[in-house]
Each structure stands twice: as structure tokens, then as C-alpha cells.
Chain A
């Protein structure tokens, strides 16, 4: 039987279909992607890969504000490409982390606050959580017709410009009867509804422009010899409910007051979370699927709650992706030391676990023969530490976590503010000290 993961990683690491600028770039790409493919499969590569998780760093480091990076795609692109040349990491995200501010402004998007608008220009955008959907609505409405719910309930609440869509007639009723259509489509003639549709069109134009920049940039990054960061993203079902619909407090309340209904909704979200990634991660492309995990950390729920409400549904999504030859890469935000034994229950050599805070020696002992580990350099050290301290930390990590392969040096979280010499020390020292015999 063909092992789809191995096959996908081989195709990806071969650089098939990439127009390299030189033989050297092609060799560089194969070495870098091969290194990542090796550590995912728990093989010992030529050296420990180093993949700094650049947040807003490329822009701040190159004299831009975050506001400029988010509202001018070309400036963000130029700064990101400069960072690529400066640091030559083993994978690179480009400017994909600088989301298109104008698109969200067109929608009147309520869930983010923007630098240069509501917060200082040199700060990263911030997510502002709210209980957008009540328990009753989620558990007695969403499951009936999730698409209609998103269109007529959720988007009108989260996007100010889409408010009028709330009063649209459900499309489920558009059977094509001319009698029905003749009257109900009048709604789209109303000025406020047309304004909402115009806002969607403007958002669409901005999204297209941004995607165009990102796609072209990804081709350039690869042509220069660098693998891209990931091919798609997905999420844990509990986070989908907590982050977007019910809020942290709401979903926590639901564990007590609506446990069965919460579980039923999350079961329904499993195939959707798989589709989120599979519709974008294709063969030949980067098989890595990123997950940003927000609400399952130590303390955020008990071990029992984690084993009931968080891990089984997340694992189901991961298995759905693994089955298709994709590689889940989970960023565990917060501390996860108490969860190590639970999250070890996953097929061997198929995932990357990227920790913000964990007992690294224990993580290696418990997970070292299951998954590739990533992270460990504190963002605070990159911000205010010294290069020798950064080198000491990287040495310690490579000695503790890197032995026998299965480890990628990185910061534990996306970093924005950092001293260039510290990032330089993290990258350069990993490349010299991390060479395997």
C-alpha cells in the first residue's frame, strides 16, 4: 500500500514543478525541504532545521510599521523578501501573516483591531472576542443549516457592512418558482442591501489582490530555493466554537450547561475542519497544515475536559488529514506539559507539534518517538536578551530535544518585536551547532 504522507513529502521535497532561478537554488530547496521531510518522519537529517516564526518582525525590522505592512501588500512583500535573503530559513511564510487590512475594512469586520486605527501603528492587529452567537442559536439553529446560519446570522454580526444580509430570505427557499423569486429578490434592490453587496465586491477585489501577491511571492520564494511554510490551515473544533461563535466564556459555560449539544456541534465541525485544509492543500504542494490552538492549554480546562471536549475532535480532524497524506502542524499556544501523554496518541511520524511553553525534556521523552517537535526559544529572549543567551538556549534545545532528529528550532510563538542580532544568533547558531555527525 502506498504511504500517502511519504509520497507527498517526497514530491514536495523534490521541488517538482518549481522554476528554480539556478541549480544552486534547486539544490538548496531540496536540502531544506528534505530536512523538514526527514524530521517529520523522525529520521535524522543533515542538520537541525531552523524556521523562525516571523510575525510582524520582517516589517518592523525593515523600517515599516505594522499598519504599512497590513495596508500595502507590495511594501509587505518587499520587506518579507528582504528578511528571507537576510536569514535564509529552512521554510518561509512570506508576508502571509500580514493580512489584508483593506479587505477587512471594506467589510467593517468587528473581530480585529488594526494598527494605526484603534491601536498603535507598530503593534500587531488584535483579535477581539465576543459572544456573537448565543447558546440557544448555536445549538438549536446552526445544525439545521450551517451555511445559512453563517450567511444570515454570523456574518451580519461580525461584519458591520453585511448587517442587511440578516433579513435576506433563506436561499433554501429559492426553489426557482418564479412566483417566489419575483417577490423575494426585490430585497436585493434595496439600497442598504446593495451597499452590503458592494462591500462584498470591494472585499473580494482586495482579497484577490492580496492572494495574487501571496501566490506570486510563494513562487518566488520557492524559485530561490526555499520551501514555503505550509500549504493550508485548519483548526480544533473546540476553538472554532470558542474563538468565533461563543467566545471563551461562552464555550466554557457550555461545557457545564450544554455538554451534549456542544459535543454534537463539534462532531459536525470535524469534516468541515478537514475540508478547510483539503480544499487548499493539494498533491505536489506543501502538505503541511497549520493549526493555531487557543483554548486547550493547561489550566484552560481540566485533563478530563481536555480528553472529552478538545482532543477527540481535534484528533479526528488530524486523522482525516493524515489519511489524505497531509501533515498536521499544531501550534500549541500556552503551556501543554500536562497534556503530553494524551496528545501522544497519534500515528507515528506524521505531525509537527510546535510548543509555546512546555517541559522540553518531558516532551522529548513522551513524544520524541511519535512526532516532530518545534519551538523553544522564548520571544522575550529575542526581544531583550543578548546573542550569547540566545545561543545558549539553542544549544540547550538541540542537546535536549534535537538528539536523534525530530526537532525544528524556532521561537515558541509568532514574534513581532525582536533584536535582529538575536534572530541572527538563533538562525546562524542552529545552522552550525545543529549539524548531525
Chain B
């Protein structure tokens, strides 16, 4: 573990961090260790975001820096990551809705907090949620939506999961611009979270509890 790279990345010093990455690769460091450092830095970024010292711009910028690091490091990787995820999480923006900023933040935060994230993207039909849940068997599902038009699509998705006989195998959280507890009640989800930090804390809590 190199503290230097972790500090530079978590302080969002892009140029300096990329220089250190290049230098370490040149002297023959294991590329996997560089990625471990980057992951550690992202955990710090996520923690600062949760604590309110970093905001969405810092999160987004750190993601971009991470992309730049990965671009250099990944072609040299000879083995994959070894740490096991703490749980699986299926996520998507519901049918008819094309918004993805909030969903992407949740995916990022869940990922840096150790969850295996299966992001289905935007405009996801209920059937696609059902199929993915059947395939990867997550404990937790996240539905995102930004429009009053999709209140019903939220409910349709939860209903489809129930009709497929999968409702008792997952906990469902909802979030996004116009969502709230009233929508949670209406669609039959388990919780509403106002932001990406709430998603992580709900997921951590749920993963500890029996379904």
C-alpha cells in the first residue's frame, strides 16, 4: 500500500496521482496493488462524501480520475481482484425514465462500499429487473426514477418482482428526484432513500438482517 497515491487520489490531485501511477508502473510495481490503492482512495472519497466534506462534484471528479488510472493500469493486469463482495445489488432506472445521474452516484457509492453492483441502466422494463434478480440473486434491489410520470412504473416493477415469486428474496429501495415515502408506500418497496449515502446505509443494514 502506498500512502502517497492514496492521499493524492483522495485529495483529487489528478496530475500528481497519474505521475505516481506512471512512476510505480515503470519501476515494476504490481498493477493490482495500484488498483487496490485506488480503491482505498475511493473508499476515503466515499467516506468524506458521507460525512459531508465532499459533495457530488468531488465524487464525480474522483470517478473520472479513477477512470484515468484504470486506463493506464488495466492493460497490465494479469489477475483479477481477490476481495469478495459483501453483497449483490441490482440497480436501474425504471421503465420510461432516462435519468441516470442519481443512479450512477448510488452505483459508485455501493461499489466503493464493497457491494457487487449490477447496473441495468435506464428505461429498464420490469421484466429485465426480474430476469436479473433471478440470474444474480441479489439481496438488495434499487429502483431509481426522476419523473412523476414513473410513479406507476415503480409500482409495476415491484409488482412484477412479486409476481415472479422473488419479492421475499430481496429488499427493495427507491430513490430519485420526486420519490419519497408516499411513493414507497404506494409501490410497496421497503424503503425510500433521499441520497446515495442513504442507499449505502440501508444496504449495510439489510445485509446484516435476515430477509
A interface with B by C-beta (< 8 Å) = 55-56, 66, 113, 119-120, 122-124, 126, 128, 248-249, 252-253, 255-257, 299-302, 305, 333-335, 378-381, 383-385, 413, 415-418
User: Could you name 10 residue pairs across A and B whose Cβ atoms are closer than 8 Å?
Assistant: A55-B148, A120-B95, A120-B96, A126-B147, A256-B61, A301-B56, A378-B182, A384-B185, A413-B178, A415-B148
Considering the complex, give the chain A residue whose CB is closest to the CB of B197: A299
The answer for the CA separation of A384 and B151 in the assembled complex, in Å, is: 9
**B contact residues around A124 at 8 Å (CB):** 147-149
Known: A380-B180, A380-B186. A249 touches B147 (CB 8 A): no
- Interface size for B (C-beta < 8 A) is 33
Other CB < 8 Å A-B pairs besides A256-B57, A299-B195, A334-B177, 19 of them?
A55-B148, A56-B149, A119-B98, A120-B96, A123-B96, A249-B60, A252-B57, A253-B61, A253-B64, A299-B55, A301-B55, A378-B182, A379-B148, A380-B151, A381-B182, A383-B151, A384-B182, A417-B152, A418-B148
Contact residues of A: prevailing secondary structure: mixed
B interface with A by C-beta (< 8 Å) = 12, 14, 54-58, 60-61, 64, 95-99, 101, 123, 147-152, 177-180, 182-183, 185-186, 194-195
A301 contacts B183, C-beta separation under 8 Å: no
Q: Enumerate the 8 nearest inter-chain pairs by beta-carbon distance, A residue then B residue, closest first.
A: A380-B182, A252-B57, A384-B186, A123-B149, A302-B55, A416-B148, A252-B60, A380-B183
Quote the shortest CB–CB distance from B69 to chain A (angstroms).
Answer: 15
Quote the shortest CB–CB distance from B5 to chain A (angstroms).
Answer: 18
Interface centre among A55, A113, A119, A385 (most CB of B within 10 A): A119
Known: A248-B101, A384-B186. A300 touches B148 (CB 8 A): no
Considering the complex, give the chain B residue whose CB is closest to the CB of A120: B96
**A contact residues around B99 at 8 Å (CB):** 126
A417 contacts B178, C-beta separation under 8 Å: no
B179 contacts A380, C-beta separation under 8 Å: yes
B149 contacts A300, C-beta separation under 8 Å: no
The answer for the CA separation of A402 and B147 in the assembled complex, in Å, is: 28
The answer for the CA separation of A366 and B107 in the assembled complex, in Å, is: 36
**A contact residues around B147 at 8 Å (CB):** 123-124, 126, 416
**B contact residues around A333 at 8 Å (CB):** 177
B182 contacts A119, C-beta separation under 8 Å: no
The answer for the CA separation of A418 and B194 in the assembled complex, in Å, is: 22
**B contact residues around A253 at 8 Å (CB):** 60-61, 64
**B contact residues around A123 at 8 Å (CB):** 96, 147, 149-150
**A contact residues around B186 at 8 Å (CB):** 380, 383-384
A384 contacts B96, C-beta separation under 8 Å: no
**B contact residues around A252 at 8 Å (CB):** 56-57, 60-61
